[in-house]
Amino acid sequence: MSQLPKRPLTLRDVSEACGVSEMTVSRVLRKSGDVSATTRERVLAAAKELGYVPNQIAGSLASQRVNLVAVIIPSLSNMVFPEVLNGINAGLDDTPLQPVVGVTGYRPEKEEQVLYEMLSWRPSGVIIAGLEHSEATRAMLLNAGIPVVEIMDTDGNPVDAMVGISHRQAGRDMAREILREGYERIGFLGTKMPLDHRARKRFEGFTEALAKEGIEIEDRAFYSGGSALLKGREMTRDMLERSPDLDFLYFSNDMIGAGGLLHLLDEGIDVPGQIGLAGFNGVELLAGLPRQLATMDACRREIGEEAAKIILNASSSEPDADLPKTVIMNPTLSVGDTLRRKKRG
């Protein structure tokens, strides 16, 4: 830390400062090969003294190895994705690999562009949300020649590996639970997102399971943008005005579900006696509400960790060929205080 360099320092600078060849300096800094303790100390001291930071660009070009993992997700505004990122971070901690995040805003063309940019850094692997991609995106994924893990959804065929839950199944399970409790006049409230395939699949699974019992959704509403909690309140109010006979509301996420719950409590409506409620995601927030919303855990953190493991394995020197390429997690349904209506034997 003696001078402020206009030109970034290079190995050569360190080499000259300590009178050891560039090659040996490089070996010390990478802890590779055998270097005598004395020269190592000398090199380390010089590097620290100068404030040398290695140039990974040059290193990666020379070694043809890049310690980056591309992570591509639709959004950061929805807490779901930060939690997956935390899982990936945890899974990659204490390994040489580092996640690099790209955000698509749920737009396929943006996804394509983000992937292209990330691939141009020649990462060691790709973790990407969802199974639905444009043709070009799939082609890039296929041709990249690196491990690819598609996460969060397992209803479809992965390019390479996938880790997630079946949202169709999640929808079906919730529907069955609702019917089992005797609810029959059901409303659905969700996001207006044609490109949120996971929400769509939950909805499809949900209606499918209802249909099997001869039941149809009686009312539905979709929103986009704004405060989810507030939207939940408003939409619930509006829906119950339109369809006062409903005895259950299924929300596509916990945030609007919480809004609905708060509205009903304000109105003094008996939950779950008169109306039952369920959301999706198991967001931590819910713990503080006056009543526990029925919901289903999406295994977000675990998905991130598992995806990281797969990339790690695939890019290790001796990959375990037996490690499964498809991991389907089982979301747990928690009924909370807003779903049970009957006494049960």
243 makes contact, choosing from DNA, a copy of itself, none, with CB < 5 to 8 Å by partner type, with none
Does position 2 interact with DNA (CB under 7 A)? The reply is no
- Collapsed DSSP state (helix, strand, coil) of residue 299: coil
- C-beta of 143 vs 157, nearer to DNA: 143
Annotate each residue in 125-164 with x if it binds a copy of itself (CB under 8 A) or - if it does not, as one string.
--------------xx-xxxx-------------------
Residue pair 223/192 in contact by the 8 Å Cβ criterion: yes
107 DSSP 8-state letter: -
Instruction: At 180, list the tokens.
Output: 């089992």
- Collapsed DSSP state (helix, strand, coil) of residue 290: coil
Residue pair 128/310 in contact by the 8 Å Cβ criterion: no
Give dist(CA 25, CA 39) in Å, integer.
Answer: 9
Does position 120 interact with a copy of itself (CB under 8 A)? The reply is yes
Cβ contacts of residue 274 below 8 Å, gap of 6+?
A: 247
79 makes contact, choosing from a copy of itself, DNA, none, with CB < 5 to 8 Å by partner type, with a copy of itself
Closest by alpha carbon to 306, among 284, 280, 328? 328
As separate numbers, helices (DSSP H) first and strands (DSSP E) second, the chain gives 12, 12
Q: Interface residues for DNA in 6-35 (CB under 7 A)?
A: 7-8, 10-12, 20-24, 26-27, 29-30, 32-35
Residue pair 198/152 in contact by the 8 Å Cβ criterion: yes
Smallest separation (angstroms) from a copy of itself to the CB of 292: 11
Does position 79 interact with a copy of itself (CB under 8 A)? The reply is yes
Instruction: Return the range that interacts with a copy of itself (CB under 8 A); candidates 99-107, 124-132, 241-249, 303-311.
Output: 99-107
- C-beta of 82 vs 195, nearer to a copy of itself: 82
- C-beta of 36 vs 274, nearer to DNA: 36
214 makes contact, choosing from a copy of itself, DNA, none, with CB < 5 to 8 Å by partner type, with none
| Strand order through the sheet with 148-153 | 98-103, 68-73, 125-129, 148-153, 161-165, 326-328
- C-beta of 59 vs 108, nearer to DNA: 59
- C-beta of 208 vs 267, nearer to a copy of itself: 267
Angle at 105 between CA 166 and CA 315, to 5 degrees: 60
CA torsion angle 251 252 255 260 (round to 10):
-20
Smallest separation (angstroms) from a copy of itself to the CB of 266: 6
- Collapsed DSSP state (helix, strand, coil) of residue 215: coil
- C-beta of 39 vs 75, nearer to a copy of itself: 75
Does position 61 interact with DNA (CB under 7 A)? The reply is yes
10 makes contact, choosing from DNA, a copy of itself, none, with CB < 5 to 8 Å by partner type, with DNA
Instruction: At 69, list the tokens.
Output: 């993992």
Centroid of chain to Cα 25: 40
Q: Interface residues for DNA in 135-154 (CB under 7 A)?
A: none
Q: Which residue has the tokens 């190995």?
A: 11
Smallest separation (angstroms) from DNA to the CB of 15: 8
Dump strand ranges (E) for 192-331.
Answer: 219-223, 248-251, 276-278, 295-296, 326-328
- C-beta of 64 vs 157, nearer to DNA: 64
Interacting residues with DNA (CB under 7 A): 7-8, 10-12, 20-24, 26-27, 29-30, 32-36, 38-40, 54-55, 58-59, 61-65
Interacting residues with a copy of itself (CB under 8 A): 1, 4-8, 51, 53-58, 60-61, 66, 76-77, 79, 82-83, 85-86, 89, 98, 100-101, 103, 116-117, 119-122, 139-140, 142-145, 226-233, 255, 258-259, 262, 266, 284-290
